[in-house]
Chains A and B, each alone.
Chain A
């Protein structure tokens, strides 16, 4: 039986609840509004981080001091990492599109714990404020890199305690979000929506949520230990007091490697939603994709040592981690093959979301295969801590998760706001972003193999030509990004009214109006056995 009340449709954006004005946003418990709140924060923080990146690229346009002192440079790459990793890409797709669409995709009216969801956002904002504070308080911005390695992090005079505490608070937000999503998927699926009938984005969020839940506490306690070391000299990571700095690295990476799967799994999920829609063809290998998400999450807990091959670990430890690293690449590759198989003989429509999905596959493949080079111990020794690593992770995180994020916005914006954006301008922006991205990061692979270290303020003059190309790429990229955001904002404000299903998608979000009503489904949703059913 259902409790449908025949109320006229009201978009969640116009709904009048207990609060009005800005309080109706800050105190909202609607998962859709919370998703938007996260999105606005993340977009702002992304551009702040991007500007830091651009400043670094300006500094590196020629050898020696260009626009800043070395200490400033160290502070910049540290805060660039902290913002991008803890505030943009780890929350990323989960908190924006997981929050907005997970309940809708499984036929629910909200997440399991809406108040906890709101609390998670508040905690996230508190963490962001603390991180920003670390830049301006008396002792100066941290200069340790976002990885806070001991012993430098335990001895440097900069604002390490507040920055690590900010990361701790942000981690708490991540844990609570993961908890909320796991319970939502277990308890709130509509009748008829079995696990194997869920869209694959839901599976991706599920695997991500478990990783958030189980991995984050470990970095939590590690950061607390770091703070205790700075405050009390407890000795865990200090060789003078009997401790071991490599222990910090282990503890740190036991979280931070699964963290990269927190970043990429939802991205893989989004691509898995976009491709069938723009090929109007059922996804190839549903079970393989669902289980590969779980496999990536699971095996991802066992590879952390590949960040530490040169730290002094035993040979046995190193070949174990190398082997597991190669194994974890397999489920990712399975997804790529399944996507390509889906496209084969599909009815392809090169709209902007699909362009982002295609470029995702290209960039993710480059990032992934260079990861194999890093995962192999012998070659790792050559490129560890060089620009090669920087290029690798930017291809995977930015080219992968970033492009998936942009693709998701272009895919779901009509649903979220009920408006279409200009598709020609979106395509041009995409092209500029793609070109700028490759100009910026591809030279870094070459520079890294040739020996240019990462996190260095300076370099030898013979490397300047490639560094210049890279810096130009940075400017091209940011131009494209600004165009993209401008186009999307214009779309939201003045775009054509979007229909409920502009892309002829099959999953549940396309069965409800654009934008959705507050409780998502004014009539009970029709649950199909096959979520990717294109007639």
Chain B
């Protein structure tokens, strides 16, 4: 087999893997899409309550989280460029930074949620059904959507950690980096979902 054929076959293989990740991203968009649909239905029905509910969230922490995720998207993209330029050490450092930033995000989330839990505000609590209907729906959506999003952050972190180990072992390298590219794509998706969640939850005051 000539080198050209091997090269073409490997690239075809990488093309397939990238297409596969994009298709999977479409499914994630539709998954969250269902929740955004429910959000729009209930916001249209209870605009005042949604506005009220939004006042209970800390725009400061939300903004910090948004900036944290945006920077993490930048670092993961930089890590991909680094390995394409054969700088394995830098690539690994940048992924580690991404993971640290993701942890900061999650920590903030725990802090935010914890504050709500202390006030008796959580799905299934005794307080929730006593709220006005629109408020209940707003907070149900808040916990469901940010919770599902946090789950996806964790999945993304797992994928990126696997990439970190693959960088270490050399199976992701300057010739073959499709796994990191896909991991970065997934991370960008998780970031993108937050970009929509943040204004819809926090900034509708």
Contact = CB atoms under 8 A, between A and B. Distances in A.
B162 interface: no
A256 to B, nearest CB: 13
28 contacts: A112-B16, A116-B20, A179-B20, A182-B19, A182-B23, A183-B19, A183-B23, A187-B19, A213-B27, A214-B27, A217-B34, A218-B30, A220-B34, A221-B35, A224-B148, A225-B35, A225-B38, A231-B124, A232-B124, A233-B123, A233-B124, A233-B128, A234-B140, A242-B134, A243-B42, A247-B38, A247-B41, A251-B38
B52 interface: no
Interface of B: 1-2, 5, 12, 15-16, 19-20, 23-24, 26-28, 30-35, 37-38, 41-42, 45-46, 123-124, 128-129, 132-134, 136-137, 140, 143-144, 148
Interface in A146-180: 175, 179-180
A460 interface: no
A216 B35 contact: no
A22 interface: no
Interface string A212-240: 01111110111011001001111110000
Contacts of A362: none
B151 to A, nearest CB: 11
Interface residues of A, number: 37
A3 interface: yes
A221 B27 contact: no
A113 interface: yes
A243 B140 CA distance: 11
The 9 closest A-B pairs by CB, nearest first: A242-B133, A232-B123, A221-B34, A234-B140, A232-B124, A217-B30, A217-B31, A187-B16, A217-B27
Contacts, number: 104
B179 to A, nearest CB: 14
Given A221-B35, A236-B140, 11 more contacts: A183-B20, A213-B26, A217-B27, A234-B123, A234-B140, A235-B133, A241-B129, A241-B137, A242-B133, A242-B136, A251-B34
A378 interface: no
A435 to B, nearest CB: 43
Contacts of B42: 236, 242-243
Residue from B1, B12, B31 having most chain A Cβ neighbours under 10 A: B31
A242 B46 contact: yes
Interface in A167-218: 175, 179-180, 182-183, 186-188, 213-218
Given A175-B27, A216-B27, A233-B123, A1 B5 contact: yes
A247 to B, nearest CB: 6
A236 B145 CA distance: 13
Given A242-B46, A242-B136, A244-B41, A187 B27 contact: no
B3 to A, nearest CB: 12
Interface string A96-136: 00000000000000001100100000000000000000000
A242 B169 CA distance: 54
Nearest to B31: A217
A220 B24 CA distance: 14
A236 B27 contact: no
Nearest to B15: A187
Interface string A239-270: 00111100100010000000000000000000
Given A233-B124, A247-B41, A183 B140 contact: no
B34 A222 contact: yes
B145 to A, nearest CB: 10
B20 A214 contact: no
Contacts of A214: 26-27, 30
Contacts of B23: 179, 182-183, 213
Residue from A3, A217, A220 having most chain B Cβ neighbours under 10 A: A217
Contacts of A244: 41
Contacts of B129: 233, 241
A3 B38 contact: no
Contacts of B2: 1
Residue from B5, B20, B24 having most chain A Cβ neighbours under 10 A: B20
Given A228-B123, A236-B38, A179 B1 contact: no
A188 to B, nearest CB: 8
B33 to A, nearest CB: 7
Contact of B137 (A221, A232, A235): A235
A180 B5 CA distance: 24
Contacts of B19: 182-183, 186-187
Nearest to A247: B41
Contacts of A1: 1-2, 5
Contact of B144 (A187, A216, A225): A225
Contacts of B128: 233
Contacts of A180: 20
A33 to B, nearest CB: 21
Nearest to A184: B16
Contacts of A228: 123, 140, 144
A86 B37 CA distance: 24
Contacts of B16: 112-113, 183, 186-188
A13 to B, nearest CB: 28
A221 B140 contact: no
Nearest to A244: B41
Nearest to A178: B23
A179 B24 contact: yes
Contacts of B140: 228, 232, 234-236
A234 B143 CA distance: 10
B133 A221 contact: no
Contacts of A179: 20, 23-24, 27
A125 to B, nearest CB: 21
Contacts of B45: 242
Nearest to B16: A187
Interface in A385-404: none
A210 to B, nearest CB: 9
A247 B137 CA distance: 13
B39 to A, nearest CB: 10
A221 to B, nearest CB: 4
Contacts of B31: 217-218, 220-221
Residue from A186, A225, A232, A244 having most chain B Cβ neighbours under 10 A: A232
B46 to A, nearest CB: 7
A405 to B, nearest CB: 26
A218 B23 CA distance: 15
